[in-house]
Amino acid sequence: MSIFTQYNRQKENIGRLLVKCPDKPGIVAALSKFLYDHGADIMESSQYSSDDESRMFYIRFEYYCENLLQIRSQMEAAFKTLANEFEMDFNFTYNKNRKRSAIFVSKEIHCLLELLWEWQSGDLDTDIPLVISNHETAREIVEPLGIPFYYIPANKDIREEVEAKQIELMKEHDIDVLILARYMQILTPNFVQNFPNQIINIHHSFLPAFIGARPYERAYERGVKLIGATSHYVTNDLDEGPIIEQDIERVDHRDNIATLKKIGQQVERRVLARAVKWHLQDRIIVKDNKTIVFH
């Protein structure tokens, strides 16, 4: 393939295929042949075989195919035969179908700002139809960007009413992923079950340490030498969903609670942004309460 052809590929003709199935010989060959037979040129391939009792196999392909949008239904239908043979769970996604993200935020806006900077620069490949907050703090940041801002007060006494309105907004705006950018409200099981593996949270601690509230205060009291942040999918178990990304910074006895929080916020920003990017790029496969992330 010439360099000219390579750099003139149309973005809408790029697709992705994620597969998980029991491990056995011939899977990669069969998948590669399937894509080749349908005129697809593999741009990127990442795979992983677990070495535990489950013996599962995971793989992600990114491929280019002329007229992909015209033949994708035919490809997906044809793939079912191969999927049945290897007992595959699979998912086809397409660059043309740009994911739509809703951002939830409370008073602290550092994670929201990071996401908006990434979005404005083109490094966060998503549409943002709305931002929801239980405080007015972020309105003056969000609305000048042309993003609708919804102020919805929330507390435990009106939680069901609030979540019903939020679910309605998610459906109205056809939202694919919900990003909790320091949204300091506990979500009910009813809300979470509507969006399985679609809600991404940032927790201001290196989970499983310091689960729940006030992690920096408790980290300071414990005299930790490393602080971190964790981004994970939300489940009904508080702060125990599948972990997507984590990072840390070293601290010492000279750091007080205020400086720990400042350092921690820097970690939170980059951890959440990376997790969201990987989700948008279909680089994550969830298995039980763990993730396989193809960086």
Report the catalytic residues. Answer: 239
- Cα separation, 103 vs 115, in Å, equals 9
What single string gives the DSSP state of each residue in 3-26? Answer: HHHHHT--GGGEEEEEEEEE--TT
Indicate the burial class of 146 (C-beta count within 10 angstroms; 0-12, 13-18, 19 or more).
exposed
Please give the torsion angle defined by the CA atoms of residues 7, 34, 72 and 177, in that order, rounded to the nearest 10 degrees: -80
- Cα separation, 288 vs 282, in Å, equals 17
For 131, half-sphere exposure in the C-beta direction (CA atoms, 13 angstrom radius) is 28
Q: Is 82 helix (H, G, I), strand (E, B) or coil?
A: helix
Q: Which of 228, 215, 213 is nearest to 270 (CA)?
A: 228
| DSSP tag of 187 | P
